[in-house]
């Protein structure tokens, strides 16, 4: 957790929930847990305001609370720091649901995301009253909702236990793993009644069952697509299709977020699945060859561990994300320094430890250039130096020492992640700045649009409308377009940047023992 | 008398390649008095036909290689002989002037004079090392300097030929890619494709020689180093065969250019200094401004 990440979180929370929530989240970010009065004291907001902000953050699952150990009647709040970044991934989540479940799914996901968490009936009512998607019917909405639960894209929050004793301040929750994805009863007729105003929400009877977007199920798909895409780039379409099936088989027996290795998969299993589900003849014919291609490749996604069942394989997540993280770091070095610098980086990576002299010989780069590139890389912490001192020297003259370049990829990844956080923060800052700078103009254009809209509705003459539109002068239009373009570029950069962050976070999950908070049930 | 004894002595010493001890000589020439024998040995030493070595406590006489001796003219004085001997020991790696001084115990001016003298006689030569441009090393005139001194094919005088290496690197890559494209056209299954797209160093060597882009002749080791740079550029893979040799094959990078470098912050040289205050901020950033224009 770095200062850069703290800034980024603060900016994201401000953008999504406003100033008070930002102050609350900042206050919680720097502490493990705080009580309500501590937060109110620190932020100088009233208890009521802080309480409201906390409830919003809790609804969006960014804050969780627990009874204090000292005083069981006082709840202590803590921030789920790593989840804040997920707020920026919402467009990606919705896009993914759209490709999987079509527009119906997308509107469910959108409502769920906007609400943070809500009951099934409330979500469906909101979706249905959207209007333009009425043709699909309530039934298809319900079915898609249930399907999304089955596929784990939506998860239930722990249910509140209603106790008879009223004196308990802290609510208690029942969390039962097998209960997370149990289908709710959705009464479509009742929903229709509620929509017409003939019944109330209280009658729906599912107020205790609150649903959420299950971030990590989406992350699992993102991760798979990174791996599959990289195999396609390197080994071609058939190999990537083969790997997609292997992942599918893997999920049957392995927790998707198991850190290093998957459980074992047999060749027979892969073969049967592909014969059943795929109609790619070339893949079926050469399946054994594709598998050996995958195991022999330097990316190391798949590893053969035994001969049982025609061959026993494991998916090596650790090796896979190590290779991918290196590819990512190398790509940054190529762009930031030069391709020669990337060459130097790779030489060090292959040789593990190497001296300056050998480095330039191995990389075939003139001594001066190699030195300057290596020192630049060292200065920016992409590579590190290990000094091995020879004993002796004893005061007279310099003790002999060897300076060896090496790569500490965990440090480099963390450094790169911090740069990503900083850059992401910069895009948000810059886009806020652009919006503020041209606030008057943007507001004016919005006002104008709404005026024109109402005039059209009233059926005013076209000439009159054109006259009104002309009050927006051409230079103003030009500036506005420019600003719009800038904001668009920035938000596009935000999304692509997030892909790098995601990859590096996956590295941290699979190749280190750092706590990442990623799990099947969050 | 002494000269005859000397010849006799030489033939005896030459008969024992490991070197003859004093006992060997007395045994072989039992009728020659010790004084005459010593005189004979002195003549041989003066002529440079033999050398004296110390083996444990005993002195050993060994015949010198007559071919080596012939390079140095007869009129050379002792100092020259010693310096020449030291330079000779350096073989094709050469020897630094400071090391010669240490070994010969001569002072600098005298040594310089001798070296210059030997150089004008074309007995030795000075070669500049690529590792340190100021450092001169001496070696015998007829020797080809070692690779570590000249840097091999990649150096023209002292300079590393960057363009030459780059061109070769590109050509090697082109060859590997061509091979891969050809392999992709044949549809014999994935493993066959992989095998067909692999090249040995020999293949590449042939291709480069036929191309005729190199003025100097390159051997396979030279091309191996070039192929390694292609691997280090991430454009190829080096795969070990079962017999321990390596083959090379062109590959694609597994990732497209990462998202971070698609905005100026990813390649910003001052990102370390970037913060909310001071001169480097997201609002004032010049790179950002140019990018958004």
Per-domain boundaries in chain A: 3-79, 86-213, 218-315, 347-407, 413-511
B-chain residues near A285 (CB < 8 A): 189
pLDDT band at B198 (very low <50, low <70, confident <90, very high): confident
Render pLDDT for B139-172 as a digit per residue (tens, 0 to 9): 777 777 776 666 666 776 667 778 888 888 898 8
Contact B191 A416 (CB under 8 A): no
Can you name the CATH fold of B160-250? Arc Repressor Mutant, subunit A (1.10.10)
Return the CATH number of B2-66, one of 3.30.465.10, 1.10.10.10, 3.40.640.10, 3.40.50.720: 1.10.10.10
pLDDT band at B136 (very low <50, low <70, confident <90, very high): confident
Q: Does A375 touch chain B (CB under 8 A)?
A: no
Contact A331 B190 (CB under 8 A): no
pLDDT at A407 over 90: yes
pLDDT at A341 over 90: yes
User: What Å distances lie between residue A498 and A33, A428, A502, CA to CA?
Assistant: 28, 13, 6
pLDDT at A503 over 90: yes
pTM of the model: 0.81
* Number of cross-chain residue pairs from A and B with Cβ atoms under 8 Å apart: 147
pLDDT at A9 over 60: yes
For range A132-148, the mean pLDDT: 77
Can you name the CATH fold of A86-213? Arc Repressor Mutant, subunit A (1.10.10)
Closest C-alpha to A25, from A50, A48, A46:
A50
| Tally of helices (H runs) and strands (E runs) in chain A | 22, 14
What is the predicted pLDDT for the residue at B241? 84
What is the predicted pLDDT for the residue at A327? 92
Contact A430 B282 (CB under 8 A): yes
Domain A347-407 has CATH 1.10.10: yes
- pLDDT-wise least confident of A363-377, B73-87, B175-189: B73-87
What ranges do the domains of chain B cover? 2-66, 71-150, 160-250, 259-292
Q: Which of A493, A503, A505 to mutate to test the interface with B (most CBs of B within 10 A)?
A: A493
d(CA B23, CA B250): 70
- Number of neighbouring beta carbons within 10 Å of residue A485: 12
- pLDDT-wise least confident of A314-323, A466-475, A498-507, B49-58: B49-58
**Token pair for A114:** 């906007």
Q: Does A433 touch chain B (CB under 8 A)?
A: yes
What is the predicted pLDDT for the residue at A223? 93
What is the predicted pLDDT for the residue at B73? 65
Contact B260 A292 (CB under 8 A): no
Contact A493 B254 (CB under 8 A): no
Render pLDDT for B24-40 as a digit per residue (tens, 0 to 9): 777 777 777 778 888 88
Render pLDDT for A143-172 as a digit per residue (tens, 0 to 9): 888 999 999 899 888 887 776 665 566 777
Contact A335 B276 (CB under 8 A): no
A-chain residues near B237 (CB < 8 A): 298
Three state DSSP letters for A29-68: HCCCCEEHHHHHHHHCCCHHHHHHHHHHHHHCCCEEEEEC
A-chain residues near B267 (CB < 8 A): 332, 335-336
Q: Which of B254, B281, B289 to mutate to test the interface with A (most CBs of A within 10 A)?
A: B254
Q: How far is A331 from chain B (nearest CA, A)?
A: 6
Higher pLDDT, B189 or A380: A380
Give percent of chain B above pLDDT 70. Answer: 89
Residues 190..209 of B with a Cβ closer than 8 Å to A: which?
190-191, 194
pLDDT at B68 over 70: no
Nearest CA in chain B to A503: B258
**Token pair for A522:** 């969050």
Roughly how many angstroms between the first and final C-alpha of chain B, as a whole number?
Answer: 104
In a 3-state reduction of DSSP, which class is residue B92? helix
What is the predicted pLDDT for the residue at A318? 92
Max mean pLDDT range (A339-343, A393-397, B43-47): A339-343
Contact B282 A335 (CB under 8 A): no
Return the CATH number of A218-315, one of 3.90.470.10, 3.60.20.10, 1.10.10.10, 1.10.101.10: 1.10.10.10
What is the predicted pLDDT for the residue at B163? 85
pLDDT at A346 over 70: yes
pLDDT at A493 over 60: yes
Closest C-alpha to A84, from A155, A16, A158, A3:
A16
pLDDT at B1 over 70: no
Max mean pLDDT range (A219-228, B20-29, B83-92): A219-228
Domain B71-150: state its class. Answer: mainly alpha
pLDDT at B65 over 70: no
pLDDT band at A10 (very low <50, low <70, confident <90, very high): very high
d(CA A25, CA A18): 11
B-chain residues near A230 (CB < 8 A): 254-255
How many residues are given for chain A? 522
B-chain residues near A327 (CB < 8 A): 234, 253-255
Contact A327 B253 (CB under 8 A): yes
Q: Does A422 touch chain B (CB under 8 A)?
A: yes
Q: How far is A368 from chain B (nearest CA, A)?
A: 10
In a 3-state reduction of DSSP, which class is residue B189? coil
What is the predicted pLDDT for the residue at A163? 66
d(CA B234, CA B252): 8
d(CA A215, CA A341): 37
Q: How far is B269 from chain A (nearest CA, A)?
A: 8
Q: How far is B182 from chain A (nearest CA, A)?
A: 15
**Token pair for B171:** 């050509």
What is the predicted pLDDT for the residue at A56? 92
What is the predicted pLDDT for the residue at B20? 77
What rounded mean pLDDT belongs to chain B? 80
Contact A423 B260 (CB under 8 A): yes
For range A403-420, the mean pLDDT: 92
pLDDT at B93 over 80: no
Render pLDDT for A297-321 as a digit per residue (tens, 0 to 9): 888 899 999 888 788 999 999 999 9
Contact A333, A416 (CB under 8 A): no
Render pLDDT for B115-134 as a digit per residue (tens, 0 to 9): 888 788 777 777 777 666 66
What rounded mean pLDDT belongs to chain A? 86
What is the predicted pLDDT for the residue at B72? 64
Contact B282 A425 (CB under 8 A): yes
Contact B267 A335 (CB under 8 A): yes
Q: How far is A68 from chain B (nearest CA, A)?
A: 36
Q: How far is B154 from chain A (nearest CA, A)?
A: 9
pLDDT at A502 over 90: yes
Contact B262 A363 (CB under 8 A): no
pLDDT at A393 over 60: no
In a 3-state reduction of DSSP, which class is residue A217? helix
Higher pLDDT, A54 or A1: A54
User: What Å distances lie between residue B178 and A233, A288, A455, B164, B250, CA to CA?
Assistant: 18, 27, 65, 21, 9
- Number of neighbouring beta carbons within 10 Å of residue A243: 23
Residue A162 DSSP label: P
Do B160-250 and B2-66 have the same topology in CATH?
Answer: yes
Roughly how many angstroms between the first and final C-alpha of chain A, as a whole number?
Answer: 20
Q: How far is B247 from chain A (nearest CA, A)?
A: 14
- pLDDT-wise least confident of A177-191, A252-266, B41-55: B41-55
Q: Cα-flanking dihedrals φ and ψ of residue A304, to 5°?
A: -90, 130
For range A125-152, the mean pLDDT: 79
**Residues A427, A430, A432, A433: what is their CA dihedral angle, to the nearest 10 degrees?**
180
Render pLDDT for B222-245 as a digit per residue (tens, 0 to 9): 888 888 899 999 888 888 888 888
**Token pair for A512:** 């280190």
Nearest CA in chain A to B251: A234
Contact B150, B133 (CB under 8 A): no
Helix (H) or strand (E) holding A194, with range, is helix A188-196
What is the predicted pLDDT for the residue at B79? 76
What is the predicted pLDDT for the residue at B75? 67
Alpha helices in A298-402 (DSSP H): 317-336, 339-351, 356-363, 367-379
CATH of the domain spanning A3-79 = 1.10.10.10
B-chain residues near A346 (CB < 8 A): 231-234
Q: Does A210 touch chain B (CB under 8 A)?
A: no
- pLDDT-wise least confident of A218-222, A239-243, A485-489, B29-33: B29-33
Contact A426 B282 (CB under 8 A): yes
Contact A422 B255 (CB under 8 A): no
What is the predicted pLDDT for the residue at B157? 65
Q: Which residues contact A113 (CB under 8 A, 6 or more apart)?
A: A90, A93, A94, A213
What is the predicted pLDDT for the residue at A168? 63
Tokens 């990623």 belong to A518
B-chain residues near A232 (CB < 8 A): none
Render pLDDT for A70-105 as a digit per residue (tens, 0 to 9): 887 888 999 988 889 999 999 999 999 999 998 888
Q: How far is A490 from chain B (nearest CA, A)?
A: 8
Higher pLDDT, A17 or A133: A17
pLDDT at B66 over 60: no
Contact A497 B165 (CB under 8 A): no
């Amino acid at each position: 957790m770095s200062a850069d990440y703290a800034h980024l979180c603060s900016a994201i929370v401000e953008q999504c929930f406003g100033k008070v929530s930002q102050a609350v989240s900042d206050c919680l970010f720097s502490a493990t847990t705080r009580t309500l009065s501590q937060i109110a004291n620190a932020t100088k907001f009233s208890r009521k305001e802080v309480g409201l902000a906390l409830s919003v953050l809790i609804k969006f699952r960014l804050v969780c609370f627990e009874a204090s150990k000292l005083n069981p009647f006082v709840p202590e709040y803590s921030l789920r720091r790593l989840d804040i970044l997920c707020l920026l991934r919402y467009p990606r989540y919705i896009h993914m649901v759209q490709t999987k479940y079509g527009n119906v799914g997308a509107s469910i996901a959108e409502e769920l995301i906007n609400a943070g968490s809500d009951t099934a009936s409330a979500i469906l009512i909101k979706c249905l009253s959207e209007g333009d998607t009425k043709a699909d019917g309530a039934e298809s909405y319900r079915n898609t909702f249930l399907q999304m639960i089955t596929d784990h894209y939506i998860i239930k929050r722990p249910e509140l236990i209603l106790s008879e004793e009223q004196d308990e301040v802290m609510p208690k929750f029942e969390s039962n793993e097998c209960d997370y994805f149990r289908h709710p009863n959705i009464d479509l007729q009742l929903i229709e009644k509620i929509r017409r105003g003939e019944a109330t929400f209280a009658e729906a009877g599912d107020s205790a069952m609150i649903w959420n977007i299950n971030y990590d199920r989406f992350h699992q798909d993102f991760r798979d697509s990174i791996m599959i895409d990289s195999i396609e780039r390197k080994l071609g379409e058939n190999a990537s299709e083969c790997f997609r099936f292997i992942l599918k088989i893997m999920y049957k027996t392995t927790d998707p977020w198991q850190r290093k290795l998957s459980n074992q998969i047999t060749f027979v299993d892969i073969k049967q699945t592909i014969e059943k589900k795929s109609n790619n003849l070339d893949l079926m014919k050469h399946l054994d060859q594709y598998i050996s291609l995958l195991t022999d490749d330097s990316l190391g996604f798949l590893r053969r561990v035994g001969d049982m069942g025609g061959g026993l394989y494991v998916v090596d997540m650790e090796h896979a994300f190590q290779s991918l993280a290196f590819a990512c770091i190398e790509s940054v070095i190529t762009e930031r320094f030069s391709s020669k610098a990337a060459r130097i980086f790779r030489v060090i990576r292959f040789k593990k430890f190497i001296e300056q002299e050998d480095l330039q010989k191995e990389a075939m780069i003139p001594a001066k250039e190699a030195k300057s590139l290596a020192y630049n890389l060292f200065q920016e912490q992409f590579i590190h130096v290990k000094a091995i001192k020879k004993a002796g020297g004893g005061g007279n003259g310099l003790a002999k020492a060897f300076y060896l370049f090496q790569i500490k990829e965990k440090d480099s990844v963390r450094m790169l992640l911090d740069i990503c956080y900083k850059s992401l923060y910069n895009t948000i800052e810059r886009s806020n700045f652009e919006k503020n700078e041209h606030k008057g103009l943007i507001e004016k254009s919005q006002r104008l649009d709404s005026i024109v809209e109402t005039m059209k509705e009233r059926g005013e003459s076209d000439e009159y409308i054109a006259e009104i539109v002309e009050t927006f002068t051409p230079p103003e239009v030009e500036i506005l377009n420019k600003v719009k373009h800038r904001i668009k570029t920035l938000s596009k950069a935000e999304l692509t940047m997030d892909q790098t962050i995601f990859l590096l976070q996956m590295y941290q999950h699979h190749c280190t023992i750092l706590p990442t908070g990623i799990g099947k049930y969050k | 008398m002494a000269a005859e004894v000397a010849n006799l002595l030489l033939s005896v010493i030459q008969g024992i390649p490991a070197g003859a001890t004093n006992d060997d000589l007395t045994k072989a020439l039992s009728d020659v008095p010790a004084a005459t024998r010593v005189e004979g040995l002195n003549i041989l030493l003066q002529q440079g036909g033999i050398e004296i070595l110390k083996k444990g406590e005993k002195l050993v006489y060994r015949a010198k290689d007559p071919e080596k001796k012939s390079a140095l003219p007869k009129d050379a004085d002792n100092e020259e002989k010693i310096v020449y001997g030291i330079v000779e020991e350096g073989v094709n790696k050469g020897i630094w002037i400071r090391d010669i001084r240490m070994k010969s115990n001569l002072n600098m001016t005298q040594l310089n004079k001798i070296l210059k003298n030997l150089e004008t006689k074309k007995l030795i030569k000075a070669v500049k090392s690529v590792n340190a441009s100021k450092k001169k090393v001496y070696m015998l005139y007829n020797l080809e300097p070692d690779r570590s001194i000249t840097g091999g094919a990649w150096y023209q005088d002292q300079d590393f030929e960057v363009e030459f290496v780059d061109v070769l690197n590109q050509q090697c890559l082109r060859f590997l890619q061509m091979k891969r494209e050809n392999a992709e056209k044949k549809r014999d299954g994935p493993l066959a494709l992989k095998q067909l797209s692999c090249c040995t160093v020999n293949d590449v060597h042939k291709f480069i020689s036929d191309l005729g882009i190199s003025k100097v002749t390159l051997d396979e080791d030279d091309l191996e180093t070039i192929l390694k740079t292609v691997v280090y550029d991430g454009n190829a893979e080096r795969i070990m065969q079962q017999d321990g040799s390596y083959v090379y094959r062109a590959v694609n990078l597994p990732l497209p250019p990462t998202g971070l470098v698609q905005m100026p912050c990813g390649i910003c040289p001052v990102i370390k200094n970037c913060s909310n205050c001071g001169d480097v901020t997201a609002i004032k950033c010049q790179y950002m401004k140019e990018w958004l224009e």
